Amino acid sequence: MTNNLKVERAILNMTQADLAKKIGVSRQSINAMEKNKYVPSTVLALKIAKLFKKPVESIFFLEESD
Amino acid sequence: MIYLSKCKVFFTFDLSIINRTVMKTNYLLPHKYKTIGWILFILGIISGLFTVYSGYDYEPIRIKVFSIFNDAVFDKEADGFFKIIETGIASELSSIAIIIGGLVIGFTKEKVEDEFIYKLRKDSLVWAIIFNYVVLFFAIILIYDLAFFHVLVFNMFTPLLFFIIRFNFLKLKSNSHDE
């Protein structure tokens, strides 16, 4: 699974730390997600989508290998 | 149309838990105990290594203890089940310090305890168990006789030790790769 967290973050002019604080996780978690090293749980994905006011599918995408 | 209906589902899906930070785990201690864990763990390792180095002869504290089974080398009178025996307890104290300290280090909450750190902890545990038994496998086929006694002693604590090292290594790694 991949995502465009970095882009969404840039649109709102947020740092990793800002986003982490808003959804209540560590900055490392956001960093790991942006590097595609961590697939978030459904709850976390929904929280992020809610924050960006976008559907989950426009932030997280399946890849060929999924 | 499909997309629209999905959107509807999304927007009606109310996440009332949005600001609840921590993962709900029932076996993790509060973060403040972590320092105590490290102190116990390190003191235990130092005194434990000292005990091993002395050939298990260094026994500053001798007390009477309750033993459920004893099989002494010299004192045949002390043999048997459920006896009060007198013994040195340096190695026992070290072992308890290492085990309690190690468990506390591994199973206290991080500053921000979220699902990612939870995954790192689980991955470290799996890694530590596999690594421990690979090491033990080679120790079994390469170390014999009385020397193997040391392997048995160290192997009581290596799963915890490998777990703590791996967990902290992964935490450091996830910390260092910044934006």
pLDDT in tens, A5-62: 999 999 999 999 999 999 999 999 999 999 999 999 999 999 999 999 999 999 999 9
| Minimal-distance CA residue of chain B relative to A25 | B114
- Give the pLDDT of residue B16: 42
Cα–Cα distance for residue pair A28/B17, rounded to 1 Å:
21
The rounded percent of chain B whose pLDDT value lies above 90 is 66
Residue showing tokens 């193997």: B148
pLDDT in the model for residue A66: 85
Pull the structure tokens for residue B47: 């005194």
Is residue B15's pLDDT more than 60? no
- Phi and psi at B129, nearest 5°, equal -65, -45
B91 assigned to some structural domain: no
Q: How many CB atoms lie within 10 A of CB A23?
A: 20
> Are the beta carbons of A55 and B6 separated by less than 8 Å?
yes
In a 10 Å sphere around its CB, with 0-12 CB exposed, 13-18 middle and 19+ buried, how is residue B27 labelled?
Answer: exposed
CB atoms under 10 Å from CB of B7, counted, come to 14
Q: Which of A9, A22, A23, A25 to mutate to test the interface with B (most CBs of B within 10 A)?
A: A25
Q: Is residue B176 part of a domain?
A: yes
Gap from B105 CA to chain A (nearest CA, Å) = 19
Total residue count of chain B as it appears in this document: 179
Task: Give the pLDDT confidence score for residue B59 in this predicted structure.
Answer: 86
Q: Which residue of A has its CA nearest to B23?
A: A25
Is there a domain that residue B116 lies in? yes
Q: What is the pLDDT of residue B178?
A: 58
Is 70 exceeded by the pLDDT of residue B114? Answer: yes
Q: In sequence order, which residues have a C-beta less than 8 Å from that of residue B91 and are 6 or more positions away? A: B48, B51, B56
Helix (H, G, I), strand (E, B) or coil at A21: helix
Is the pLDDT at B165 greater than 90? The verdict is yes
What ipTM goes with this model?
Answer: 0.91
Q: Which domains does chain A have, with CATH numbers?
A: 2-52 (1.10.260.40)
User: Is B88 strand, coil or helix?
Assistant: strand
Interface A:B, Cβ pairs < 8 A: 56
Cβ count near A47 (within 10 Å): 21
Does the beta-carbon distance from A25 to B116 stay under 8 Å? yes
Q: Which domain holds residue B139?
A: 110-179
| CA proximity to A8, closest of A65, A62, A50 | A50
Q: What is the pLDDT of residues B36-46, one digit of tens each?
A: 999 999 999 99
- B175: confidence class by pLDDT, cuts 50, 70, 90: confident
Least confident residue range of B30-34, B84-88, B96-100, B136-140: B84-88
Q: Tell me if B158 is assigned to some domain.
A: yes
Task: Write the pLDDT tens digit of every residue in B2-12.
Answer: 444 444 444 43
Contact A44, A59 (CB under 8 A): no
Whether B112 and chain A come into contact, CB under 8 Å, resolves to: yes
Q: Would you call B6 an interface residue with chain A, using a CB distance cutoff of 8 Å?
A: yes
**Number of structural domains in chain B:** 1
Whether B163 contacts B106, CB under 8 Å? yes
Considering only CB atoms, A31 lies closest to which of B114, B171, B178, namely B178
* Burial call B87-113: b when 16+ CB within 10 Å, e when fewer: bbebbebbbebbbebbbbbbbbbbebb
Does an H or E element contain A9, and which? helix A5-11
Please check whether residue B20 touches A, CB under 8 A. yes
Residue where the block lists tokens 């080398």: B73
Query: Shortest Cα distance from B18 to chain A (angstroms)?
Result: 6
Indicate which of B112, B120, B171 best probes the interface with A, i.e. most A CBs within 10 Å of its own CB: B112
Residue B13 clears pLDDT 50, i.e. is over it: no
Helix (H) or strand (E) holding B86: strand B80-88
Nearest CA in chain B to A26: B112
**Residue B63 CB coordination number (10 Å):** 8
Cβ of A55 within 8 Å of Cβ of B177? The answer is: no
Instruction: Establish if B39 belongs to a structural domain.
Output: no
Residue B21 has pLDDT above 60, yes or no: no
Q: How confident is the model at residue B179 (pLDDT cuts 50, 70, 90)?
A: low
Question: Structure pTM?
Answer: 0.84
Nearest to A32 among B20, B116, B179 (CB): B116
Give the pLDDT band of residue B23 (cuts 50, 70, 90).
low
Per-residue pLDDT band at B72 (split at 50, 70, 90): confident
Residue B168 within a domain: yes
The reply to whether residue B18 touches residue A50, judged by beta carbons under 8 angstroms, is yes
Give me the pLDDT at residue A36, please: 92
